[in-house]
Chain A
Amino acid sequence: NAGVTQTPKFRILKIGQSMTLQCTQDMNHNYMYWYRQDPGMGLKLIYYSVGAGITDKGEVPNGYNVSRSTTEDFPLRLELAAPSQTSVYFCASSYTPAGRNTGELFFGEGSRLTVL
């Protein structure tokens, strides 16, 4: 079972470059999320989506953009990369049963990004 798949796993960028982190899930989940995790820290929400065509900002959205054209895919775009964006990025998805707002987050293995 694939679950949540992220690519690339590692990437080094120069300051000012742009790139897209890819995320796809095969569980037909409505909700998808992008988090970043800095050393020794928890996870900070960058953007999330509650379904195809609907996205919203999380805690730390500056410098990032997302789109959700399909249920399966939720790419994260970094424009004009900065050293402050050096981090490990995790994509996650979840299914919310009707009438409830609890559910397990399924995470990808992460994408380690370094901006030099």
Chain B
Amino acid sequence: TQLLEQSPQFLSIQEGENLTVYCNSSSVFSSLQWYRQEPGEGPVLLVTVVTGGEVKKLKRLTFQFGDARKDSSLHITAAQPGDTGLYLCAGATPGGYQKVTFGTGTKLQVIP
């Protein structure tokens, strides 16, 4: 079983601050995704990264896939209250079946 460890587990910051969330594994993934989940809803995809070293930007969010495709980071610049939620990384295993393993999650609270 592949494990994806996320850190930190909880993060409470003031509006306007920057933050970074990490997703680490000892396994290699063919791709890695980041999802955001709001209370009472299912996760919603933010981004997919597929190439080692790849960097993708989504407005104030920057995602990076590690060179060895075992880890990833999510950096948020000038956090807003609307960024509040549970952030989940998810790795897809190489091979024919698209089996996705989810990380433990990072719960972010942005205080106005």
Binding site for B on A (CB under 8 A): 4, 31, 33, 35, 40-45, 48, 50, 56, 58-59, 90, 92, 94, 96, 101-105, 107-110
Binding site for A on B (CB under 8 A): 1, 4, 6, 9, 30-31, 33, 35, 40-45, 48, 50, 88, 90, 92-105, 107
Asked if residues B103 and A42 are in contact (CB atoms below 8 Å), the reply is yes
Given A40-B105, A102-B30, decide whether A107 and B43 contact each other with a Cβ distance below 8 A.
yes
Q: Count A-B pairs with CB separation below 8 Å.
A: 72
Given contacts A41-B105, A102-B30, A102-B33, 12 further A-B contacts (CB under 8 A): A4-B42, A33-B100, A35-B102, A42-B4, A42-B102, A42-B105, A56-B97, A94-B98, A101-B95, A101-B98, A105-B43, A109-B41
Asked if residues B31 and A102 are in contact (CB atoms below 8 Å), the reply is yes
A108 to B92, CA, bound (A): 20
Q: Which 4 pairs from chain A and chain B are nearest by CB?
A: A107-B42, A102-B31, A42-B102, A43-B102
Chief secondary structure at chain B's binding surface: loop
15 of the cross-chain contacts (CB-CB < 8 Å) are A33-B100, A40-B9, A40-B105, A42-B4, A42-B105, A43-B43, A45-B99, A50-B98, A90-B43, A101-B30, A101-B98, A102-B31, A105-B43, A105-B90, A110-B42
